[in-house]
Structure 1
Amino acid sequence: MRQVTASGQTVEEAVQSALEQLNTTRDHVEIEVIDEGKRGILGVFGSKRAFVKVTLAKNQVQEAEKFLKDVVNNMNVEVNIHTTVEDNHVTFDLSGEKIALLIGKRGQTLNAIQYLVHLVINKDGKKFYTVTVDAEGYRGRRRETLESLANRMAEKALRINKKVALEPMPAYERKIIHSVLQARDDVSTYSDGTEPHRHIVIKP
C-alpha cells in the first residue's frame, strides 16, 4: 500500500503535495493530519509547517478480482475474467475451458464464489458494492429456466388446487420466481423455511 508524508504551509498545501507525489486524486486516498502547523506572525515569523500522511486507498474492485483469480486458480481452472462496473454493481464474467467446474450443480459453486467475492469487495471498503459472478452466460440461462419453472409450477398448483413447494434456492433466485408470478392473479407466492433451506411456496 503506497503512502507518503508531505508538508506545506497549510494542511491543504501538504495534501496537494502528497496527491501529486502519488499521482492520484483526493477520492482515492486516506488522509491523516500529523501536524496542523502554525501560521506565525505576518504568516512568517514563528510559523510551523503542516504535515500529513496520505495513503493510497485500495481499489476494492481490483482486490476482489485478484481474490477471484486466486480462488479459480486453486480449483485448477484457467479462466479469463471480464469485469464491468456500473455505479455500485460489479459483474465478473468468467470464460474458459473447464467452466462447468465453476458453475457446479444448479449453480451452487458459482453462488458460493459470488458470495465470497461479495464479502471481499466490501471488507474495509469505502464504497458498498453488489456483485454478480457469471460464467459464460449461465445466469441468463438459469433465469430462463426459473421463469419457465415458475409458470409450470403455478399451473400445477392450479391443476391440483393445492400449495406447491419448490426446491430451496438462494434469495436472488427466489426473487425471480416471485417477480414472474406477481403478474398473475390466480396464484400467490411466499418464502418459507430458514437459510439455506428457504424455499418458495406457490398457492392457488
Structure 2
Amino acid sequence: MKTVKVSGKTIEEAINEALQKLGAANKEEIDYKVIEEPSKGFLGLIGTKPAVLEASVKPDPIEESVQFLQKVIRDMRVNVEVEVNKRGRETEISLSGEDLGVMIGKRGKTLDSLQYLVNLVANRHSDRYARIVLDAENYRERRQEALELLAERLAAKARRTGEKVILEPMNARERKIIHAVLQEKDGVETHSDGTEPRRYVVITPHS
C-alpha cells in the first residue's frame, strides 16, 4: 500500500496535496494521520510550522474480497475461475469451472458460508456497506426456482391432507423465498420456527 508524507499551511491544504500524490478523487478515498498540527508562530511570522500528514489510499473492498476468495480457491486446490460484475450498489462475484460442486456444497451451504466471509472481508475497512452476492453458474437462480416449486407442492399437500407440513431447516434467504411464494396463496399460511441454524418453515392449512 502506497503511503505518502505531505505538508501544507493547513490540514486541508496537506490533504489536497496527499490526494494529488495518491491519485485519489476525494478524502473519503484515503486514510490519513496528522503528524504535526500547523502553528502560526510569533506574530504569525516567526516559527511558523506547516501541517504534516501521513496518508494512504483506502483498500478497495471488492478487490480485497476477490483476493481473499482467490486465496481460498488456491488453498482448496480446485479449478475455479472468478468473475466480478457490478450491478448498481450490489456486486456479484460469479464462479465457474470444473470443481463448482465443492464450492457450492450440500444445498449451497459452502457457497453461503463463503459469501458471508467475502462480505466480512469487503466491509472490514469500508465506511460504506458493500453488498456482495457470490454465485456459481446461476446456482442461486436455479435453487430459487426449485424452492418455489417445492413450496407450491407442499402447500398443495397441506391443503389436501389438512395437516401442517414442516420443511427442512433453511437459511433466512431461502425461508424468505418460501414465505413470499405462499403469502398470497389461499388455504395456507406459513411461519418460521426453531432456532438458528436449524430454523425451518411450517406450512399450515386453513379454511
Corresponding residue number in structure 1 for 2:22:
22
- Deviates further, 8-17 or 135-144: 8-17
Corresponding residue number in structure 2 for 1:56:
57
SS in structure 2 at match of 1:183 = coil
SS in structure 1 at match of 2:195 = coil
Amino acid at match of 2:182: L
The answer (yes or no) to whether the contact 2:59–2:125 under 8 Å persists in 1 is no
Alpha-carbon distance in 1 for matches of 2:129, 2:60: 12
Cα distance per residue 1:109-151 (max 9 Å; x no partner) = 2112112212222223222222211001111110100000011
List aligned pairs for 1:93-172, cutoff 5 A.
93-172=94-173
SS in structure 2 at match of 1:58 = coil
Structure 1 gaps of 5+ residues are none
Corresponding residue number in structure 1 for 2:176:
175
Alpha-carbon distance in 2 for matches of 1:153, 1:118: 33
The answer (yes or no) to whether the contact 1:166–1:200 under 8 Å persists in 2 is yes
Corresponding residue number in structure 2 for 1:5:
5
Q: CA deviation at 1:78?
A: 2.1
Amino acid at match of 1:99: L
Corresponding residue number in structure 2 for 1:32:
33
After the TM superposition, list the runs of 4 or more consecutive aligned residues in structure 1 that deviate by more than 6 angstroms.
none
Q: CA deviation at 1:87?
A: 4.4
Alpha-carbon distance in 2 for matches of 1:142, 1:118: 21
Alpha-carbon distance in 2 for matches of 1:195, 1:130: 22
Name the count of aligned residue pairs: 204
Structure 2 gaps of 5+ residues are none
- Deviates further, 31-40 or 187-196: 31-40
Corresponding residue number in structure 1 for 2:186:
185
TM-score of the two chains, using structure 2 as the length reference: 0.91
Alpha-carbon distance in 2 for matches of 1:19, 1:54: 9
Q: CA deviation at 1:14?
A: 1.0
Cα distance per residue 1:173-204 (max 9 Å; x no partner) = 11111111112132111111111111100111
Q: CA deviation at 1:43?
A: 5.6
Alpha-carbon distance in 2 for matches of 1:120, 1:104: 21
Amino acid at match of 2:22: L
Cα distance per residue 1:2-38 (max 9 Å; x no partner) = 2211001111111111111111122210122222312
Cα distance per residue 1:89-114 (max 9 Å; x no partner) = 22110111221221122112211211
Alpha-carbon distance in 2 for matches of 1:65, 1:145: 29
Residue 199 in structure 1 maps to residue 203 in structure 2 = no
Q: CA deviation at 1:40?
A: 4.8
Alpha-carbon distance in 1 for matches of 2:57, 2:179: 43
Q: CA deviation at 1:51?
A: 0.9
Relative to structure 1, the CA distance from residue 184 to residue 107 in structure 2 (aligned partners, 3 Å threshold; closer, same or farther) is same
The answer (yes or no) to whether the contact 1:88–1:128 under 8 Å persists in 2 is no
Amino acid at match of 2:188: V
The answer (yes or no) to whether the contact 1:7–1:14 under 8 Å persists in 2 is yes
Report sequence identity in percent: 45
